[in-house]
Chains A and B, each alone.
Chain A
Amino acid sequence: MKKKSNFFAIIMHITILLLIAPLLILVVWSFSRSWSWPYLLPQEFGLRGIMHVLHPSSRALKNLLFSIRLSMIVTIITLIISIPAAKALGVYNFKGKGFFKVLVLAPIIVPPVAVAMGIHLTFIRLGIANTFIGVVLVHLIPCLPYGIRILTNVFEIVGESMEQQAKVLGANPIQIFLHITLPLIAPGLISAGSLVFIVSFSQYFLTFLIGGGRIITFPMMMFPYIQSGDRMMASSYSLVFILATLVVLVIMEKAIKSYYGTKNYFYL
């Protein structure tokens, strides 16, 4: 028995190491002027990458804050749309439910790139290309499947019995939603919100096409450096990208948990 748990501990530590090591290399590269064969560690360190990201003239931090705001708005709208849709799919029985469950995943199955050009033309007609609203709308496309699918599973577990109980006791629909449904699905909201935020935050192509250069997000500044192979710049940007995502996710989780005083009923 003892031996077996040791074995699993080793596997676990190796797995964690494999996940963390690439991130560590990113940190080292952010500060390495040169790191050539045959040296195990960089011979020269520098701050060029980080200084560029932090310097106001590069507008990197300004765009980072803008990106976070954009993705937060996308996340909130996605959740607002996802909750009723997920409840319908998770709780109610209706004709063609299985079909709709698959249909919801369509934006992931069909790559957005394939339909993006058409969307762009439509958005130009509607006058929302190159605008903030246009970018928010187009971000909803890859985000909604994640939001709806995760919350569908949550509703399947939670069911409707609690809400019916409240209804029997005379609560109105708004009271039921605020005091019964939301606290019940709060842990699911955290996971769905986190994933949706990440999906929106890392969108590159769709933002590019619909934003038309008017809307500049953080990944749009990061990608050219990754493409051109400037490893110090690319690593510095990636590092800031990862840290920003982590901070936002932790804040989001803390906020929702403290508001609803949720304990971990289940974690998805």
Chain B
Amino acid sequence: MKKLFVLLIVAILTMNLFGCSQTTEASGEDLLEESWESILQEAEGTEVSFYGWGGSQRTNDWIDNFLAVRLKEEYNITLNRVPMNIDEVLNKLLGEKQMNVMGTTDVVWINGENFYTAKTNDLLFGPFTHKLPNFNQYIDADSVEVKYDFGFPVEGYEAPYGKAQFVMVYDEARVEAIPQNHKELMELVKNNPGQFTYPAPPDFTGSAFIRNIIYDIVGYEQFVNMEADKEAIAKEIQPAMDYLKELKPYLWRRGETYPATIAQLHNMYADKEVFMTMGYNPNEAAGKIATGEFPETTNTFVFENGTIGNTHFLAIPENAPNKAGALAVIDFILTVEAQASKYDPNTWGDLPVLDNARLNAEEREVFSNIQIGKGALPQDVLLEHRVPEMPANLVPIIEEIWMENIL
């Protein structure tokens, strides 16, 4: 009797595992047919889960103290910020897709390779950007930076959130003259051995530094349409690899080891172990001066031939439970008010994505009135020295070549 009972329980439990898989109805497609007013009506009073990287206090504070508060006032939307790394979000979405169930993620902060992965695996909802009034009004949909994300066509599956650009960060008290190009950088480093280094790829910023050196030495046009063929790339970037090899013995600890993450390099710079660091957010240094992490004498510069810039985006997963709310949130982020507040170095200091030509005089003034922080470059200097990212699929190949040749 007892045995039978145990068997029965085991059977029920196993049935459970194979039995009921809930499926979700695809409500998304109809949503895009609805008018914007009815989408807003649907979004009113709902909760939206915003998934993204949570490692920056300033970014987190902007979302918590500005975005969440204003969304509550405007649409009575409760914004639930979830600090989660993008690869974990993708894993979660892939798992959910396999089971074909409703997810928990409404908005996800994404770009580059991860967008490529998400879109090629059909994890994203869209195309949705044409539905957003602010996208249609303020965004130049034909610009390269909105149309392509690391060379991969966006096709309306993600809306621009902000812009980033690679900058070099240095301490004015210890670096006499800023290098204008790779040659001057080599000279500077040779004269000050052990004072410079860069994070080893696959760190995002270290990888961007290497691409920047490649651009500075061999130019960037040929990479835009290049096939992801390792031999061809290796041949093309050989001069840059030679350069990095020459640089290596003059790096921190003679180049025998590299900081593994940009965070380590930042901390080494803050501790005055090296005299330069770098970043993919042009206002990060200004922010770190404000928080006291970096010395007051910190400043930033770009190479005369330009540095790499990219756009970061917001997307909606295919299985998002509250797509209407997600659309309302993304649309709100594209307002002048939100973009200006985000640009303000006192909050986050992220470059705006709105097209200057589409702003009226009043709106333009909102942006020009914002005082950029100490240690940051003005927006027009950055935009003049901005070159596009390489196609996403070349990036891991270059990192591989670096590891084989330099490390």
Contact = CB atoms under 8 A, between A and B. Distances in A.
Contact of A33 (B103, B273, B291): B291
A34 B293 contact: yes
A48 B96 contact: no
A124 B95 contact: yes
A103 B19 CA distance: 29
Contact of B92 (A35, A59, A122, A209): A209
A127 B22 contact: yes
B95 A229 contact: no
B293 to A, nearest CB: 6
B17 A122 contact: yes
Interface string B1-26: 00000000000000011111110000
Contact of A229 (B103, B263, B273): B263
A46 B291 CA distance: 9
A45 to B, nearest CB: 9
B152 to A, nearest CB: 26
Interface in B53-83: 53-57, 60-61, 64-65, 68, 82-83
Interface string B260-286: 011110110011110000000000000
Given A33-B293, A225-B55, A229-B266, A220 B98 contact: no
Interface string A127-158: 10010000000000000000000000000000
A223 to B, nearest CB: 8
Contacts of B53: 224
Given A34-B295, A36-B271, A229-B267, A121 B83 contact: no
B54 A224 contact: yes
B54 A34 contact: no
Contacts of A231: 267
A228 B293 contact: no
Contacts of B262: 229
A48 B293 CA distance: 11
Contacts of A130: 104
A214 B104 contact: yes
B51 interface: yes
Given A208-B88, A224-B53, A231-B267, A36 B292 contact: no
Given A33-B291, A37-B271, A214-B104, A227 B83 contact: no
B105 A213 contact: yes
Contacts of A36: 270-272, 295
Nearest to A117: B95
B294 to A, nearest CB: 8
Interface residues of B, number: 49
B339 interface: no
Interface string A29-70: 000011111100000101010001000011100000000000
A208 B51 CA distance: 12
B99 interface: yes
Given A34-B270, A126-B17, A228-B56, A213 B51 contact: yes
B84 interface: yes
Contacts of A34: 270, 292-295
A160 interface: no
Interface string A202-213: 000000110011
A178 B96 CA distance: 45
Given A124-B101, A208-B84, A209-B92, A227 B263 contact: yes
Contacts of A72: none
A137 to B, nearest CB: 13
B49 interface: yes
Given A34-B293, A124-B96, A229-B261, A213 B17 contact: no
A213 B112 CA distance: 23
B92 A212 contact: yes
A196 interface: no
A58 B56 CA distance: 12
Given A34-B292, A117-B95, A224-B83, A212 B104 contact: yes
Contacts of A127: 20, 22
B375 to A, nearest CB: 14
A189 interface: no
Contacts of B273: 37
A170 B62 CA distance: 68
A195 interface: no
Contacts of B54: 221, 224-225
Nearest to B269: A36
B291 to A, nearest CB: 6
Nearest to A32: B292
Contacts of A52: 57, 61
A-B complex: 6 closest residue pairs judged by Cβ atoms:
A229-B263, A228-B55, A33-B292, A213-B82, A224-B54, A224-B55
Interface of B: 16-22, 49, 51, 53-57, 60-61, 64-65, 68, 82-85, 88, 91-92, 95-96, 98-99, 101, 103-105, 261-264, 266-267, 270-273, 291-295
16 contacts: A37-B271, A37-B272, A37-B273, A46-B291, A46-B292, A48-B292, A58-B64, A122-B17, A124-B99, A130-B104, A213-B51, A213-B82, A225-B55, A225-B57, A229-B263, A230-B263
Given A213-B49, A221-B54, A229-B261, 8 more contacts: A46-B292, A48-B292, A58-B60, A58-B64, A120-B95, A130-B104, A227-B55, A231-B267
